[in-house]
Amino acid sequence: MSEDRDVIEAIWSGSIPACFKLASHECTSLQNPEPFFAMLPRISYLPLLWEKIQRHFAHFVTEESRSSPIWLEYNLVPLRWQYPIGLLFDLLGEKATLPWNITVHFNDFPVKEVLACPSRQVAEAQFLNSIKEADFLKTRKKVMNTMTQGERRQMTAALHSLRTENFWAVNRKLMFTGEPWKHVPLRVFLSENCRQLQKLVGISNAENEPLTLREVLNDWIQEFSDERYEVLLHGVPAPLEAPLQWLGVNMSYADNFLYVVVRPK
């Protein structure tokens, strides 16, 4: 199997227009700040923007909250920054109008609901850990064991600057492992209750044919059917009959996980 460049390019170029506004009760200035507009790359992560957001709003909040870690919220749900932006939008933004309106908070950090992410480095470490988990599932960490610091830095830097080719120069090692994958890194999210499903899943079914996403969803979700649910991957209907490993190579997010959103029709 080789990679499908068109699919990968399409995934890397997907973006969501967003409008960040400061929570009105946190504004201590007489004048309301202008909103902060950005095109959010679906494949990327919110903390990569935090410095800019913080700088934009810092002068409108009290001096003591200025340096506290910010957190973001959509529709009263705090956004879990360790998930890729595209997943967050597919999971929470079903009824959202564009631009996606996100509220910025400096105060009352919801410790029970989201992790603190005080710096970009914390977010990058989390991202690399997710890659390590994916590699463990595929090869029992054979690839990450031999990956240099330079290659890791190349991946995080290329994700930040959205240079697909630089990213894939390293990512290819993680995807084409020279032996069959043991398991496919896959997380399924049910938008009804924001539940996350993760189980061990291989690349073949009992008949030794390539396992498809449809077979997995039939197995994981009670009474799964096309009439009841729609299945999203990167904001578009997921190809349910495609072999899971093909999806893993070509349609995973940057951390090498497939994040599939299932929502009722």
Q: What is the contact surface with other proteins in residues (CB under 8 A)?
A: 80, 82, 114-115, 126, 129-130, 132-133, 135-136, 140-141, 144, 196-200
DSSP 58: G
CB of residue 132 vs other proteins: minimum separation in angstroms?
A: 4
Residue (57 or 86) nearer to other proteins, CB: 86
What three-state secondary structure class fits 44? coil
CB of residue 48 vs other proteins: minimum separation in angstroms?
A: 17
CB of residue 220 vs other proteins: minimum separation in angstroms?
A: 10
Residue (82 or 191) nearer to other proteins, CB: 82
Residue (8 or 85) nearer to other proteins, CB: 85
State how far the Cα of 40 lies from the Cα of 186, in Å rounded to an integer.
Answer: 23
Residue (44 or 256) nearer to other proteins, CB: 256
CB of residue 136 vs other proteins: minimum separation in angstroms?
A: 4
Beta-strand relationship, 236-237 and 258-264: unpaired
Q: Which among 209, 232, 229, 233 is positioned nearest to 221, based on CA atoms?
A: 229
- Kindly report the length of the chain: 265
Beta-strand relationship, 186-190 and 195-197: antiparallel
Cβ-proximal residues to 49 (8 Å cutoff; 6+ apart), any chain:
38, 40
